[in-house]
Structure 1
Amino acid sequence: MASLLIVGILPYDSGKTTLALSLIREALEHGIDVGVAKPVSGFNGWYQYEYLLKSVEFGFLIGEDSYKLHMMAKSSDPIYLESPVTALLLPPDPERVGWKSSSYTAISYHTNVVLLRILEDHFHVPDNIKRLTQPMQEVIAPLIEATKPLEIKAEDVQYLIMEGREEADRTLEIIKDHHELTIIESYNNLAAPCASALNSDLVIAVAPGKAVILDGERYKKAIHALSNLREPWRVVTEDVVPLLKPLKKFEFKPGEVSGLLNSVLEILEAKTF
């Protein structure tokens, strides 16, 4: 059993999912049994409206990245195990937040999270829903009806996500135990989405056009030097990657990440001896 942790160098749009999908596709072509995990995820229902609608269809909150990983892997694992913590964000009405652009654009627990799923349980934040424009309140209503969420306050969101990370540790180990290769995608530019993700054999750090393969144990030690291993999400990748010597470097064109799996398999094989 082996696992890869994919982390982003940039806060947004590093290319983690594109790289993960390429690895999954190549692994399946090699006949490798692949498990996938997006332990903590969030998606914006304005910019990723299609997945808000899919969530209504499924009666279950699911983000774009988690859905794509699940489908590419042809996974039979429950999505709630692959993505145990998922948040839906919607931008508030700027007038209702005093025309503050920081409130409008920031990923804020206190103003933007309207719905949250921890495993199979859903929660919604009425105060944040009230901050939406009227059309967006109408958009979210069918999802509230479909998921039957429990009501929480905005200040409860961060606490629930912290609890959810503990569940993510447990579910990630379940997935890893059932597959030859598990591909784990982190969130934004966090060094790791949950503590157990640091038990990966290799880490792939990606930015647009560039990826480096790092030794998992050395990556874990570098994070330990910077922070508490129980909370690796408090470290960002730009503080970790410069401390390590890459095992391999890759450069690629937009949408074309190929040949990476062969290097991954070679390095994993060498590590077993």
Structure 2
Amino acid sequence: MISFSLLNGSSRPDAFFTLIKSSNYFFKWEYKKSSLKLEKKRITGHVLTFTEMKPVILVSGLLPYDSGKTFITTALGLTLKRRGLKVSVFKPISAHSLWYQYREFKRSLSRGVLFGRDVAIYMRMGLINEIDYGNPIDMLIGVRDPTRYKIIDKYLDEMSNTLENLLLLRTSIPGRRYFLVKKNVERLPNPLKREVLEGVKVFGNINEVSLEWTIRYLSSRVVEDIILRAFQKNWEKSDVILVESFSDALIPSIRLSKYVTKLIIVSPSRAYEYQGIKLRMFVENVRKTEFLTSSRFLSLFRAEYTLEVEPAITPVALQLEERLVEDIMGAAEECKQQ
């Protein structure tokens, strides 16, 4: 039986631990030691407790942009669905540009819920059925008018920081809430400014907040709990959960690491496959959040498998390695039989 329970955790966010050593010897020894412990001990967390490990595949990107996370995740999800498994895609945190994904913004207004292009793809493919549980946190990112800057380097610097340009934040659990950073909306080019201020009224009650408050909120335990509650919902209804990270972040929430059974880091032409134990060991020994990137992890750990990714016009046409698919299916079937 699978059981979920609420636990009383510390009031502070998840602790990070100092990396004691970075030599290959340390990682090799710790990997074996941790594997032995995980086989014998129950895995617990602040929000969820369960005794069975069904396949949870984390897909992370090596590059900040255009690594191919959504493409690979969609291809894998559709392949597993065709083989008869119940598959859920979970994209805990997403951020999308008002300018570059303007069509999705207009669709969000017509549907009454904020979402971006990646989530739209998953919904269209039947891999996300309930947007609130498939994508519990979404951010709309703005642009700025370069003519308002005397020094163009300042414009370039501010445009390169995603959170600095946050316009609207949606959280979905236990109910939808929207937070508007009005100061950033005021920095939009005039036509967009008017459209955003009028358009967001369809979302209902909007909370106006500062950027500083929003950044603190995004790193709070409240957001971590939202993510894990949504994850629980996907866990209950699925044989396999595919978790997509964001940008080049190794993992969207460190509290998910204890549930990941397989990590796939993707890039154009190549994907790197790891067992979840290596991810957990890395997360538990990293002190600074800026080190939690796919490139940092890749530089320290050798992949179990390196997969060749060929170009494809659509995710359906992408040929995945049969060994990977069979491995996930076998784990799912084994979990069903327990």
TM-score by length of 1: 0.90
Does 2:166 match 1:113? yes
Give 1:166's match in structure 2, choosing from 218, 222, 225.
Answer: 225
Equivalent position of 2:25 in the other structure: none
Judged with a 3 Å threshold, the aligned counterparts in structure 2 of structure 1 residues 87 and 75 are, in CA distance, closer, same or farther, namely closer
Give 2:85's match in structure 1, choosing from 17, 32, 47.
Answer: 32
Q: How much does 1:234 deviate?
A: 5.3
Q: What secondary structure, in the 3-state scheme, does the structure 1 residue paired with 2:302 have?
A: coil
Q: How much does 1:151 deviate?
A: 0.9
Equivalent position of 1:197 in the other structure: 256
* Aligned CA-pair RMSD: 2.3
Q: How much does 1:58 deviate?
A: 1.1
Q: How much does 1:143 deviate?
A: 2.7
Equivalent position of 2:196 in the other structure: 140
Q: What secondary structure, in the 3-state scheme, does the structure 2 residue paired with 1:190 have?
A: coil
Q: State how 1:1-273 maps to structure 2 within 5 Å.
A: 1-76=54-129, 78-98=130-150, 99=152, 100-110=154-164, 112-119=165-172, 120-148=176-204, 149-162=206-219, 163-198=222-257, 199-227=259-287, 235-255=292-312, 257-260=318-321, 262-266=323-327, 269=330
Offset from partner CA, 1:58-78 (integer Å, 9 cap, x none): 1111111122123323543x2
Q: CA separation in 2, counterparts of 1:137 and 1:216?
A: 44
215-224 vs 141-150, which moves further: 141-150
Q: How much does 1:248 deviate?
A: 1.9
Q: Judge conservation of contact 2:93–2:252 (CA < 8 Å) in 1.
A: yes
Q: CA separation in 1, counterparts of 2:199 and 2:252?
A: 26
Structure 2 residue runs without a partner (length 5+): 1-53
Judged with a 3 Å threshold, the aligned counterparts in structure 2 of structure 1 residues 242 and 259 are, in CA distance, closer, same or farther, namely same
The one-letter code of the counterpart of 1:165 is E
Q: CA separation in 1, counterparts of 2:75 and 2:328?
A: 18
TM-score by length of 2: 0.73
Structure 1 residue runs without a partner (length 5+): none
The one-letter code of the counterpart of 1:265 is E
Aligned residues with identical type, % of pairs: 23
Judged with a 3 Å threshold, the aligned counterparts in structure 2 of structure 1 residues 242 and 5 are, in CA distance, closer, same or farther, namely same
Q: CA separation in 2, counterparts of 1:267 and 1:126?
A: 45
Q: How much does 1:262 deviate?
A: 4.4
Q: CA separation in 2, counterparts of 1:50 and 1:62?
A: 11
Q: CA separation in 2, counterparts of 1:156 and 1:165?
A: 16
Q: CA separation in 2, counterparts of 1:142 and 1:58?
A: 15
Q: CA separation in 2, counterparts of 1:80 and 1:143?
A: 20
Q: CA separation in 2, counterparts of 1:258 and 1:69?
A: 19
Offset from partner CA, 1:155-191 (integer Å, 9 cap, x none): 1111222232331122112212220001100010111
Q: Judge conservation of contact 2:235–2:241 (CA < 8 Å) in 1.
A: yes
Q: Judge conservation of contact 1:37–1:66 (CA < 8 Å) in 2.
A: no
Q: CA separation in 2, counterparts of 1:102 and 1:166?
A: 35
Q: CA separation in 2, counterparts of 1:250 and 1:258?
A: 11
Aligned residues: 268
129-138 vs 169-178, which moves further: 169-178
Q: CA separation in 2, counterparts of 1:144 and 1:70?
A: 22
